[in-house]
Amino acid sequence: MRGKVETVPYWKPEEEKKLIELLPKAKSLEDLAGALGRSPEAVAMKLKRMGLSIPPRSESSLVKIPRKKDSLKTTTTTTRKLEPVKFEELPSPNEALGLLYSAIDRLQEPDVGREEAKKLRLIIQGVKSYIQLDADYVARIQTVEYEMLVQSRAIAEQLRSMIASSGSPEEKARLEKSLKEIEAEIREGEALGIGKPRTRNRRFVHASVDSARRRVLVYDRDTRGGMSS
């Protein structure tokens, strides 16, 4: 004969209500389970499904495994503190690709051990992520630069219209001064090669990255100089 199979009873609405009422007062999951006549595991699962917090387990329920002091080996590892690299010291895409190729090439050698292979694969994954992040960063810079250039052109057109309809010489002189400043910014942007971002051939991406980086460095330098003056 087959043994009797015990079934887990469903939670009735009144039991769920009681669970919610007892939850804030429960000191442990075991206390809450005892008050409800269910196992701690069942109560924890129910609370998780309801999106409620689970009380901590009681210390008596935690299984402690005795260990011999002689069998424990304590090892101390020291991790070198990582310092952020300056923007101008970041490797270029060509340098990153060179490192990626070197790691892949070394991985093909027959004398590569297991530990070295693990390190090489980590390097490969890290360099690939770096190249992707660098490309995304440059794409964002190019988009912002182009939007700023478009906005400057629109402001210049508006200033020209205001100059044409200006009523006093003082107002006209003020608008012309602002127009000259905007036109200087437009010429500077066009000289730097800022244009509408587009999908380029891969061989031209590296030059775009280096160019964008140089523009960021120039902007950062000018900004810091303006703030300090």
Question: Global pTM?
Answer: 0.43
Percent of the chain beyond pLDDT 90?
9
The four Cα atoms 80, 86, 88, 94 give a dihedral, to 10 degrees, of: 30
Structure confidence by residue, pLDDT tens digits, 197-212:
765 444 444 455 555 5
164 three-class SS = helix
Whether the Cβ atoms of residue 193 and residue 212 lie closer than 8 Å to each other? no
Percent of the chain beyond pLDDT 70?
72
Is the per-residue pLDDT at 71 higher than 50?
A: no
Structure confidence by residue, pLDDT tens digits, 103-152:
898 888 888 888 998 999 999 999 889 888 888 888 888 888 888 888 98
- Give me the mean pLDDT over the 39-48 stretch: 84
* Higher-scoring residue by pLDDT: 7, 60: 60
Structure confidence by residue, pLDDT tens digits, 76-107:
556 677 788 787 788 888 888 888 888 898 88
State the maximum Cα–Cα separation within the chain, in Å, rounded to a whole number. Answer: 109
